Each structure stands twice: as structure tokens, then as C-alpha cells.
Structure 1
Amino acid sequence: MITGDLPGLTYMVRPQITPLHVFKSGGTAIGSRNVAPLARCPSWPSNVTKRLLSDSGHPEGTAQDANASKDPFDDENTKLAYKSALRSGDVVVKTTGKNESAPFWQFGSLYLRENCPCPKCIHPDTKQRIVDTFSLSLRVKPENVQSNGADDVHITWSDGHESTYSWKWLAAHRGNLKPTIKSRDVKPNRLPRPFKAYDPQKSNPYPEVVYEDVMCKDTAVLEWLENIWLWGFCFVKGVPVNPESTKALIERISFVRHTHYGGFWDFTADLTYKDTAYTNEYLGAHTDNTYFTDPARLQLFHLLSHTEGEGGKSLLVDGFAAAKALAKENPGFYNTLSLSRHPWHASGNEDVCIQPSVTAPVLNIHPDTKAVYQVRWNNYDRAPKTKWHTSEQKDWYKAARAYNNQLTKSSNEIWTQLQPGTALIFDNWRMLHGRSEFTGKRRMCGGYVNNDDFISRLRLLKFGRQSVLDNLGNTRGWQQRDNPYSIY
């Protein structure tokens, strides 16, 4: 048993009993669902219920009297919803003050645990998540809850970790009282658009082109772009080892996209921009720009030098191939990742806090072709989701873990050691990329290309301008190979 004293109540918490039930009064956390009141204090705040409510609606450990038998909620529907929250939610915060927007808040345990704001879970410089969500137990539970008064709530978790949350954060991120995804929203699996997956287990050559050809012939540019579209990535051999030639290579497709990282990059691991990419740390497989409404479509890297150290292998994982495998393994998980929309952010530098104008799912379904055409997967940049029922949280975490298992299978990982003179370009809407830890000093250059400019260049080179004009908006025949809209 864990005992303690908080303003207005002496309490006892029985560990490993869920859901946790926290009372709040002006920022004071008081006990849990399985709390046995040892003494009733006459100074109990008037804006808070005067008893602890068990599932039966009776106070625990006390005799019923006129005041105790009166339910703290006047509305019967509110009382029923509250009892449902106690059954389905892991953490319930009860708020009966006049200024509160809801009579109670509910949170999933794993949701709170993965969004712990401490420096071990959120990088203090980049503000990115560094705790591995998928290594946390799906059954993680709070064992104790404390409050230091009006500012925050402290939770000790079953895995030994300790977290502190402000009341403002809890108020902003409370879950929905009802699920938002209805059964009618569930559609038959929409598999990814047509593609070919490179098999890392076979010793087949990588798709590649030659720099000199690309710079001189449009036919070589077409071959280059078709490789990217079909395989998701392509190497360019014989690139002069300097930033100017690399930038000129990108511009054979289109102009370099400018972001808060600048335009064309030429960087080392110095945290010039507060992002994990600007460190020498291990980077798990992810897509870039999840925090943009329109993520960059292409991304090119060219290693200019690596001195006085080793490591830094580049990782590619085919998000479409992993999604297709997930659909076969568990169609329900696949649907969950295409229906549940999430917020994303980039907030490392003081003058930047970027969020997309709309939330987006991990697997994005094209409204015309009904096929998955874009993957957003970046656990570092995924922001805490609000308006999320605890049952939906549990479904999503299970689905995301299953997808992560596909992505991290060694049989799906393409590891390469980049060398000066060879550039790597890939489809950021499909291919996840990462990097092993390294020592020494690496100098890397590269840049982004927009989706619309990539698709325009590929369609014009492949079909010709007149065919593109003749088929403007022709979504009806997108599956026909002679329709430019088959490229998207």
C-alpha cells in the first residue's frame, strides 16, 4: 500500500489497480480510483465532489449518509459517461469546478507514458520524442500519483519511470468521451499504388544512373525519375564531389525546395538546426517533413567527406512494402493506420514551431485512386493527439507497433555506406530513411524537391506535353498505362 497526504484528504493508493482515478481541485491531484479515504476533512473545497466514487456509485470505506449518498453529478448521462470512462480509461481526472469545460478527463496510460516531457523522453534541444514508443509495454500502468499543488501532477509508472505533467497540458490533451471513428468509416483495404520493392535479401544491383548522362540527356533524366517512381530510390554514380555539381543535379528535375532548413544543404553534425539529423546519433527509419501540410516528395543526399571516424551507414525501408505486408497480416491494423489522423510538429529552433494545417494519418489514401499514395512515419516528430478516445488509442498503438515490426525487420532494411561521388535520391512519400551512429566529421549536401514539380517533370518526359494536356483531370482512366494520371 502507498499512503500519503494531500490538501483536504489523507489517502491510500493500491498499486497496479486500474483505471487510475485522479480528483482535481484547482490543480490538486487526490488519489486514485481505488482510494480508501481515512479521514474526511471539513475544509474540503466546495467546488469538488465531497466523496470518492466507486464503480457502484457509493463512497469506498465510509458509511453512507445524506451527503455521501448524493451523486456529485446532477446529470444522469454525465454519471453514466463517467462510469464508462472508469471502465475503459486508464487515467481519469475528475473536474467538478464551475470553470471546467468537462466534468472529467480521461487518458490512456501508454498515451501519457510516451508523452512524458522529461529530458529522457523529449530531446531538450530538438523537442523531438526520443523515447522508443514501441519498446514501452502496452500494459504500462501508473502505480502512484502525486501533486505539488496547483502546478502539476507527478506519476510513477509500473516500468519505474517518473513523469510530471502540468494541469494546462492535461487540460489541452484530454481524450474524447466517445470514439470518433465509426464503423461506417472502415473501408476495404486500399493497397499502395503500383510499385516494385527491392529485396535486400537478394544480391540484385541497385537502380542507378550516371551523372554525366543525366546532365546531358533528357532520356537519362526520364530513366532516373522512373527508377525513383517504381523502386522508390536511385543512386547517381560519378557525381563531382562538390556542392555546386550536386545542386545542378537536383535542378535537372526542378528547383530546390526551401524550408526552415534553408534551400540546398551543406552541413555537418553541429546542431545548427535543432533536429536529430544534425547530430551524429543513430536515426531510426522515418519520413521527413511530416510536420508540413505538403511534405517534400524527393530527397537527395551526397556525402562529400567523412574524416577521422567511422559509421554513418544509410538506411532505407520501403514503407509501401511494409504496409502491404501489414494489410495481409492484419487488415484491421492497416485500416486503423489509414483512418486515425495525427498531429506532427517541428519545434527545435526558438523561431520555429511548424505544424501542418490538417492532421494526417500514417497511411494516406488518394481520394481519386483509392490507393495509399503517401506514408507519414516519424515517431520523433509525432505530436500528442487530442480528442482521442482511450479505446482508439489502444487500437492505434497496437496497429502502429505491428507496422513498426514490419519496418524494423532486418529482411526489409537496405543498408548502404554512402561514398563521395555517389548521390542517393529517394521518394520521401514512400521510402523511410535512417542512419547508424557515427564518429568523426561528416560533410553532407543535398536538398528537397516538391511533389508537383517531380510529377510534372516525369509526366512530361514520359508522355509528352500534348498527351498531358489531353488528359488533364482524367482521373477516370488512371489505371491505364497511357494516361499521365497513372503517375501520381
Structure 2
Amino acid sequence: MPNQPLATPGLVTTSGQQYQAFAHHKLHAWKKCTLCKDGQSLTSCSLSHNLRSTKNISALPLSIHQTQLRRNTSSTPATSDDVHPQEATAAEEKSTQGSKTSTKSIIPKNFNKLVAGAKELKRIERELKNIHAKRRSPPWTVQGPYIIRGKLMCFHDPGAVRIEKKRVFVRDKPIPNIWLRDNCQCSSCVHEATRQRLLDTFSIPQDIEITEVTIKDGKVHIEFSDGHKSECPVSMLNGAALPADIKADIRQGLINLSLWDASIAASPPNVSNNPSESIQPILKNIRQYGFCYVDNTPFDTPDPTEQLLRRIAFIRETHYGGFYDFTADLASKDTAYTNIALEAHTDTTYFSDPAGLQAFHLLSHTDGSGGASLLVDGFKVAADLKQQDPEAYHVLATVNIHAHASGNEGISIQPYRGFPVLEHDPTTGELLRVRWNTADRAGIGLPIDTVGKWYDAARKFDALLKKKENEYWEQLTPGRVLIFDNWRVLHGRSAFTGKRRICGAYLNRDDWISRFKMEEFGREKVLASLASG
């Protein structure tokens, strides 16, 4: 693995120019700037410091230019963006009331340029703010602490919860009384075993009041006007006030993602199969790299492979069945059941909810050769496209593509709508899923006279997928199970001869993410975030 992150700065086009900005972590807005003496937040320092922090040298001149503008404008008269220089001059003349000192001597010679520069600076600030608010690009870190834990360390501050006039505040935000009553965690309001609500929310008086409230032992003790008494953990209130994008990351169990290319062949993620040990090392590798090999898996029968997958989650049933064990006999009408080469693709793009994980185990290969497996990091390729051609990236992120599965008699699976090739989380703006399967593609969601722009963008994405430095090839062998994230990693194979026997299965996304979160954070911490939204 390369030791340096495969990072690319975000790009935004303004007035024909391209400004490069470092898409800093959303968490920074809540931290104090370590470069300023006055302790202002990183949000207000983003122009003078954040751009300077990026290693991309082309961003540095912009940062210096902005810093210089601030210095120049700091001594100028306070003027609204909409005040015309002539109006400012008139106001200055009126204030002198006959003074012999001319207006021109009072107003700096470069006044017009300074006003224009200030307007330009504010416009750039708005552009950069939009980048930070909606990062339409994947995270790119090779190693480091888990994002979730780093974020929670910042926000779980007991001092952020306070009481004022029988109202509860979290970071100066008042918490509605009905929310506090509705989210009571006592045994009469929430079932202790299932964590399901027992309270009828709409039996709560709309104007419910707090009669008594105190903070003690890490809990907020509340007595309501309806007579009910609640104990609300301070940590739960902190979680409820988290920004929406951080809540989304917590729900996904998001950790730092390691983007990779063909060089990962030197040290791919792998874990030895041991049914008596935790499944978590396998899931952690899949969450970080998008795939993991499970070595030393018995291969005399497919049963140990099925048992391995069921330790992660339930097997997903599709029109192909559940756990599959097949050869190239076209038993199911799909090119996967042939011996021809397959280009990099994701599976089940024709489902509204594509399979989350996919697994392959080559049980045997006799009387032939070939059939090497291909893996491509779709998130890494998307990052490359974003850097090289933001417009092409935008097209693939916004134009819906329809797909279908119609090979078997009596079956034609078509989702209720089309989906873009690059799907983003609507809350965080981050890349969430790649859908790419030219064999299963149907219509393109554009007027027929404008579909050309999608083909142009797709051609560029396809070219990046096929670059040798992005293709990781591996010859599977009996005993080595390949499990990969079908929302991120594309797979394919070379043509082969002879008879191959392969087993495997699909697993749902929600199921395997649930198992990962439970193993990584523990049931108590996972359930503690339920009321946070």
C-alpha cells in the first residue's frame, strides 16, 4: 500500500476561473483555530489558514491574495456591499460641512479597487462555504483515527447542556419540551429489550411544560406538567444537537476510507478464517478498503463459506436464489454464468437497493486456465474524475440511468426509477454508492437530443476504470474467499477455459453495516444514538 493519501483538492468554477480549496473536515467548524491568537473558529479562518494547509501549491497564491485583501480593507471605512463609491463620497462631503479638505484627500486613491476587492472576497467566501457545506467527493485518507470517534469527542461536552428558566439548552439551542417528553427513555416509555416506543406521542399535551429540572450524575432530571418524571442522559442531548451530516456519518458507521489502486496488490487486506474469533477484523477491512480476503477457508464443500457469510448477516435472496454454487453452464441467464471476460462492474444495479456485499470462493478449477479476478476502487476513480473533469463528474452524479434484469423466463426486474452512476448522501454530500454495469443498462434520463453529454462523461469514467494503474488483478485460489463492498468496488474477470466451480452470496447493506457498528462500537453506544435522529 502507498503510504501517502490519494488526495485531490475540491474544485469550484467561478467567473471562468478555477479556485482550488481544501475540503477540510466538517468538524473543524466547531474547533478553535490553532493558528490564530484571538481564538476564532476555523470557519472564520478558512480563507487565511485552511487553503494554506493544503499541499497543493496552486491554492497558495489565492490564500495569500485573500489575506492581503483583508489587510488592505481593515483600515477602510465600514461600507455596505451595496454602497456606491459616489454615495460614499457624497456622505463624506456632507460630514465635512465646508471643510477646505477635499474629499479626494480623505478617501484613499485606491478606494474603488478596495471596495471591488472586498466584494470579490465575500463572493469567494460564499463559494468556499458552499464547498464545505456540500462536499461532492469521497473522503480520501489512508490511515488515521476513526472519523466517528473523533467527531464525538468534540461534541460530547457535558458543559454544553445547561438549564435556564426551566428550559433545557444544548449549545445555546433550546430543546422543545415535547421532544424531551417524547424521548423519555424510562421503562414505561421505551421497551427495555426491544428499544421500541411504548409512549403514545400524540397523547402528550401540545403545550406541555417543565415544572422541575436539574442536572446530576450525567443526567438531566425533568418533571413535566403532566406529572411524568424523566431522566435524560446528557450524552443523548449532545447527540441530538449534532449537525445533520455528522448524524448521517454515525448512522453509516463511517470510518476513514483508504482509496487504492493497483499497488494494493503488494499487501491486500486479508484475515485468516477462524469461526471462534470475532468477525470484526473482516468487516473493518471491508469498511476501510472496500474488500477483504478471508484465507484458510475449507473448500471441499461450500458449507464453510456459507457459514462464514452468515456470521456477517443474512443471505439475500434474489432471482438467482440465495447462497449460490455454480459453474459456467448458463443455469441462470446472465453473463456471469459463462466463461467470457467481464469488464469492471457492480452487481444488481437493476435493484432499487443494490446488494451491499458480494462474496466469491473458487472451490475448484480443472482442465483449464485463466479467470483472474479484477477489482477497481470506484471511489478512487470517482475522485480522479472529479479532479480532472468536474463537469463530467456532475453529469454522472445527476443524470438518472435505468437498468434491468430480463434474462430469465417470466422475469424483467426494473426499478421504479433511474439512479445516477455516482450517488451521493443527500445530507453530507459525500459519495455513497457507485452503480456501473453497461451490460444491464437501459435508458438514459435525458432528452434524446442531449444524451450526448452523458456519453461523453461516461466515456471518461470508463477510461479511468480501465487505466492499468487502477486495475488490481488477482488469481483466486481455493481456500481464499473474496468479500467486497458492492456499493464501492467494481469487479470483473478475464476469460477462462476448463471447469470452474464458484460459490458465494449477496448480503444486504443495512444488515452488514449493522453488524459492523455493533461489533465496533457495542450495542449500548449504538442504541444511545437512536433518539438523536
Q: TM-score, normalised by structure 1?
A: 0.57
What is the alpha-carbon distance in structure 2 between the residues aligned to residue 413 and residue 441 of structure 1? 25
> Structure 1's 269 and 203: CA in aligned 2 closer, same or farther, altered over 3 A?
closer
Q: Judge conservation of contact 1:305–1:420 (CA < 8 Å) in 2.
A: yes
Structure 1 unpaired stretches of 5+? 1-185, 476-488
What is the alpha-carbon distance in structure 1 between the residues aligned to residue 532 and residue 491 of structure 2? 33
Q: Judge conservation of contact 1:189–1:331 (CA < 8 Å) in 2.
A: no
Deviation at 1:202, TM superposition (A): 5.8
What is the alpha-carbon distance in structure 2 between the residues aligned to residue 305 and residue 378 of structure 1? 27
Q: Judge conservation of contact 2:135–2:429 (CA < 8 Å) in 1.
A: no
Residue 201, structure 1, aligned to residue 147, structure 2: no
CA deviation string 1:141-167 (max 9, x = no partner): xxxxxxxxxxxxxxxxxxxxxxxxxxx
What is the alpha-carbon distance in structure 1 between the residues aligned to residue 426 and residue 410 of structure 2? 35
What is the alpha-carbon distance in structure 1 between the residues aligned to residue 520 and residue 372 of structure 2? 34
Match of 2:380 among 313, 321, 338: 321
Q: Judge conservation of contact 1:243–1:266 (CA < 8 Å) in 2.
A: yes
Residue 347, structure 1, aligned to residue 406, structure 2: yes
The equivalent residue for 2:457 is 399
Q: Judge conservation of contact 2:373–2:492 (CA < 8 Å) in 1.
A: yes
Q: Judge conservation of contact 2:355–2:508 (CA < 8 Å) in 1.
A: yes
Deviation at 1:188, TM superposition (A): 6.2
CA deviation string 1:123-181 (max 9, x = no partner): xxxxxxxxxxxxxxxxxxxxxxxxxxxxxxxxxxxxxxxxxxxxxxxxxxxxxxxxxxx
Query: Aligned letter for 2:287?
Result: W
Query: Aligned letter for 1:318?
Result: D
The equivalent residue for 1:34 is none
The equivalent residue for 2:312 is 253
RMSD: 1.8
The equivalent residue for 1:191 is 137
What is the alpha-carbon distance in structure 1 between the residues aligned to residue 411 and residue 403 of structure 2? 13
What percentage of residue pairs aligned between the two structures are identical?
Answer: 50
The equivalent residue for 2:369 is 310
Q: Judge conservation of contact 1:337–1:363 (CA < 8 Å) in 2.
A: yes
What is the alpha-carbon distance in structure 2 between the residues aligned to residue 357 and residue 428 of structure 1? 20
CA deviation string 1:297-347 (max 9, x = no partner): 100000000001000000000000000000000111111100000110000
Superposed, which structure 2 residues align to 1:88-237 within 5 Å?
190-193=136-139, 194-201=256-263, 204-212=266-274, 215-218=275-278, 221-237=279-295
What is the alpha-carbon distance in structure 1 between the residues aligned to residue 449 and residue 474 of structure 2? 41
Deviation at 1:201, TM superposition (A): 2.9
What is the alpha-carbon distance in structure 2 between the residues aligned to residue 360 and residue 333 of structure 1? 16
Q: Judge conservation of contact 2:399–2:446 (CA < 8 Å) in 1.
A: no
Q: Which one has a larger percent helix, Structure 1 or Structure 2?
A: 2
What is the alpha-carbon distance in structure 2 between the residues aligned to residue 388 and residue 344 of structure 1? 17
Q: Judge conservation of contact 2:399–2:445 (CA < 8 Å) in 1.
A: no
Moved over 6 A (4+): none
What is the alpha-carbon distance in structure 1 between the residues aligned to residue 488 and residue 532 of structure 2? 24
What is the alpha-carbon distance in structure 2 between the residues aligned to residue 203 and residue 228 of structure 1? 16
What is the alpha-carbon distance in structure 1 between the residues aligned to residue 134 and residue 435 of structure 2? 20
Deviation at 1:200, TM superposition (A): 1.7
Match of 2:350 among 288, 291, 300: 291
What is the alpha-carbon distance in structure 2 between the residues aligned to residue 261 and residue 389 of structure 1? 34
Residue 456, structure 1, aligned to residue 523, structure 2: no
Q: Specify the SS of the correspondent of 2:437.
A: coil
CA deviation string 1:85-109 (max 9, x = no partner): xxxxxxxxxxxxxxxxxxxxxxxxx
Q: Judge conservation of contact 1:301–1:423 (CA < 8 Å) in 2.
A: yes
Q: Specify the SS of the correspondent of 2:266.
A: coil
What is the alpha-carbon distance in structure 2 between the residues aligned to residue 427 and residue 203 of structure 1? 18
